Amino acid sequence: MATFTQLPSGSWRAQVRRGGLTRGATFKLKREAQDWASVVETQATHIIASGYQPIPKGFTFAHLIDAYVGSVKAGGKTKTATLTMLKRQLGHVALKSLNSVHLRDFIDRRKADGAGGVTLSADLSYIGAVMKWAKHSRQMDVSTELALNARRDLTSQGISTRSNERSREPTKSELEALFNHWQGNERQRIPMHTIVEFALSSAMRLSEICSITAEDVKPSVPSVLIRDRKDPRKKDGNHQDVALLPAAWDIVAPILKERPTGKLFPYQPSSVSTAFTRACAKLNIADLHFHDLRHAAASNLFRIGLDIPHVASITGHKDWKMLKRYTHITPTDVFAKLKK
């Protein structure tokens, strides 16, 4: 029930008490106080009935994303780019009006732009995360099933949301061709031969390789501390001490003598990746990515006899399901293991 009191100044004080909720505000005109009280009473009734706050008038999906980013740590480049795209595609939609038709049209637009099932599924997951945050952190009356249902609808449309697991590894002849190409290229300033050899011997991601500092290397073990290592649940502060096997240490040791401080490989990951891709194109090496070196390195760790916990301590994987994607053991490898 709302009460209105005129103050000595001539202003009006409105107060609303309903269902344990108390709100008050002061206005110059009684009409303004009555209008405000009417809105607050409606909101209070909604909260009492549903347990959640009604969506404010004029509040768009873009407003919600901004609030989400302001409250939750934005994360990596992929998350930031996806949220920016969602604001562009769906930001104009009033949040209280957002429905399955909006998501259907959004999916159609993304498909027309060339997005596949894996990308669409990821987009909808971000939408779902924002909506869940709105409901459970801000107590807003929004649907958390909207994006989930849209993801299920992808399957009914025959759109696969599972990524294809790669099993591509560089062959010996491909590596020799790449090494010869870089050795004979005087314009190649990035030591690609060294970086590729290190990737094959360390099983590290390119971003990790380019972030290693001399200060984080422990020659006595030998090992290196990889800071903020990629993890689906925790990246910031996820520092891991990783063993440098003999082949990797043979590459690092000479660099430490020349460069006792700073980054061992002071190059941008994007520049290294571009140099690798260009070399493959020049040599007609099809469908080989720099990240495939990590697959090859993980498989080689098993081939030399390391078990799952030891391999995982080097690659940084937390469970066998994820590590299995990087492991390509063949029947030949099995028989070679038996001979050992």
Phi, psi at 174, each rounded to 5° = -65, -40
The SS3 assignment for 329 reads coil
Low-confidence ranges of the chain (pLDDT < 50): none
Decide if 178 contacts 272 (C-beta within 8 A).
no
185-202 exposure pattern, b = at least 16 Cβ within 10 A, e = fewer = eeeeebbbbebbbbbbbb
CA–CA gap between residue 304 and residue 313 (Å, rounded):
15
Decide if 126 contacts 86 (C-beta within 8 A).
yes
Which of 326, 227, 224, 205 shows the shortest CA–CA distance to 272?
A: 205
pLDDT for the residue numbered 201: 95
Give CA 255 to chain center in angstroms: 32
pLDDT tens string 7-54: 989 898 988 877 666 788 888 888 888 888 887 777 666 665 555 677
Residue 18, Ramachandran bin (φ over 0: left; ψ between -120 and 50: alpha; else beta): beta
Would you list the DSSP string of 77-96?
HHHHHHHHHHHHHHTTSBGG
Q: Name the DSSP letter for residue 4.
A: E
- Report the helix count and the strand count for the chain, using DSSP H and E: 15, 6
pLDDT for the residue numbered 46: 62
Task: Name the architecture of domain 172-339.
Answer: Orthogonal Bundle (1.10)
- Residue 184 burial class via C-beta count within 10 angstroms: exposed 0-12, middle 13-18, buried 19 and up: exposed
Which of 39, 17, 45 shows the shortest CA–CA distance to 27?
A: 39
Q: Tally the C-alpha atoms within 13 A of residue 271's C-alpha that lie toward its C-beta.
A: 12
CA–CA gap between residue 210 and residue 272 (Å, rounded):
9
**Lookup: tokens for 211:** 């972030």
